Amino acid sequence: MLGIETSCDETGVALLRWEPDAPGRGLLAHTLYSQIKLHADYGGVVPELASRDHVRKLLPLIREALAQAGLGVRDLGGVAYTAGPGLVGALLVGASVGRALAWALGVPAIGVHHMEGHLLAPLLEADPPEPPFVALLVSGGHSMLVEVKAIGRYTILGDTLDDAAGEAFDKTAKLMGLPYPGGPALAKLAAQGMAGAFRFSRPMTDRPGLDFSFSGLKTQVLLAWQKSDQGEQTRADVARAFEEAIVDTLVIKCRRALEATGTQRLVIAGGVGANRHLRSELAKAGEKDGFRVYFPRLDFCTDNGAMIALAGAIRLASGQRQDETVQVRPRWDLQSLPAA
């Protein structure tokens, strides 16, 4: 199974031999190209530049993955590509290549939901979670809690009302003058901050519900930064307080979601899932409350082709098929997916 990911600013390709009992053992190759340097001058992703770079990088990455696995293109039995949500131009690059390659080889192709790929990424690990579980999908574009009753049976318990957690990280880093991409830079700086020097609110934890809102937190940080001496230690102190506020909020909401569903398994997925402080605090909460936390390896927290290959393989193995039309969905409700 060839997996292709081109939803935003990373071109990911992977090859997976489908093994239903242990999907992770079947991962044969995994290649990834990040466009961070391309977009750094603009302080964010430029959609047209992202699309053109996918055009340049996708075929070489496919060749590289095949070489890693010692396979030829004729060995492919299926193609999975990200069909949405994402940037429409970027999605069309992966969809066009995936569909054309599958048509030429006479093998099935399937468009995969990007967020389903993320929430299934922990299944690539040696000890994968079994549904039912609750998934926290937390990235630059999403902050949502999802109840997973079975693969393809998803209920969104909570979603972001404005900025996603990763977006809040990036925007806060930018207003404090940190380099792009801001999220990882801010997290690294937070490790040097002094605990208690600043404190920010934990948004929407003072009321019932599982939705998220981080735009107000970002404003609190802006005001605190503007009123400060803006020195290097202050920058680190503010970063630490901000990270603690985000992480505490996510942990509180995860605990609520597990209690509401009666589930004892929590899956963390998406780019913010690589944050060390979040991983540490969730692990502590799991030990205290008696639930188990499943993380994908760091390589599979961010966008990648392996998660798309896995999600596509599961759906093709369940008998699902799509016609040969090249279609993408920049907006796509996760709850609308059929069960696998």
Q: Which CATH number characterizes residue 65's domain?
A: 3.30.420.40
Q: How many CB atoms lie within 10 A of CB 201?
A: 13
Consult the annotation and say whether 139 binds a ligand: yes
8 Å CB contact between 161 and 173: no
- How far apart are alpha carbons 312 and 207 in whole angstroms? 39
Please indicate, yes or no, whether residues 110 and 163 belong to a single structural domain of this protein.
no
- How far apart are alpha carbons 208 and 253 in whole angstroms? 10
* pLDDT for the residue 20: 78
Please indicate, yes or no, whether residues 87 and 150 belong to a single structural domain of this protein.
no
- C-alpha closest to that of 329 among 88, 32, 17: 88
- How far apart are alpha carbons 124 and 144 in whole angstroms? 21
Phi-psi region of 207 (alpha: psi -120 to 50; beta: other; left: phi over 0): beta
Consult the annotation and say whether 142 binds a ligand: no
Please indicate, yes or no, whether residues 281 and 135 belong to a single structural domain of this protein.
yes
- C-alpha closest to that of 131 among 157, 159, 154: 154
Count: domains in the chain: 2
Consult the annotation and say whether 106 binds a ligand: no
- How far apart are alpha carbons 90 and 171 in whole angstroms? 23
* pLDDT for the residue 21: 78
Consult the annotation and say whether 303 binds a ligand: yes
**Over the chain (340 residues), what is each successive 10-residue block's mean pLDDT?**
97 93 86 96 94 98 98 97 97 98 97 96 93 94 94 97 92 92 93 96 96 94 96 97 97 98 96 94 97 95 96 95 94 95
Please indicate, yes or no, whether residues 320 and 216 belong to a single structural domain of this protein.
no
Please indicate, yes or no, whether residues 309 and 281 belong to a single structural domain of this protein.
no
Consult the annotation and say whether 137 binds a ligand: yes
- How far apart are alpha carbons 324 and 104 in whole angstroms? 11
Please indicate, yes or no, whether residues 210 and 143 belong to a single structural domain of this protein.
yes
Residue span of the structural domain in which 112 resides = 2-121+300-336
Please indicate, yes or no, whether residues 116 and 220 belong to a single structural domain of this protein.
no
Give the C-alpha distances (Å, rounded to integers) separating 276 from 5, 282, 302. Answer: 25, 10, 14
* pLDDT for the residue 45: 94
Consult the annotation and say whether 32 binds a ligand: no
Please indicate, yes or no, whether residues 288 and 305 belong to a single structural domain of this protein.
no
Please indicate, yes or no, whether residues 95 and 221 belong to a single structural domain of this protein.
no
What are the CB-based long-range contacts (under 8 Å, 24+) for 15-23? 15/65, 15/66, 15/68, 15/69, 15/71, 15/309, 16/306, 16/309, 16/310, 16/313, 18/313, 18/317, 20/317, 22/126, 23/123, 23/124, 23/128, 23/310, 23/313
8 Å CB contact between 6 and 94: yes
Please indicate, yes or no, whether residues 98 and 187 belong to a single structural domain of this protein.
no
**What 3-state DSSP class applies to 40?**
helix
Please indicate, yes or no, whether residues 269 and 176 belong to a single structural domain of this protein.
yes
Consult the annotation and say whether 138 binds a ligand: yes
* pLDDT for the residue 38: 96
Consult the annotation and say whether 163 binds a ligand: no
- Return the bridge partners of 112, or none: 82
Sign (positive or negative) of CA dihedral 299, 290, 254, 248: negative
Consult the annotation and say whether 215 binds a ligand: no
Please indicate, yes or no, whether residues 111 and 180 belong to a single structural domain of this protein.
no
* pTM of the entire predicted model: 0.95
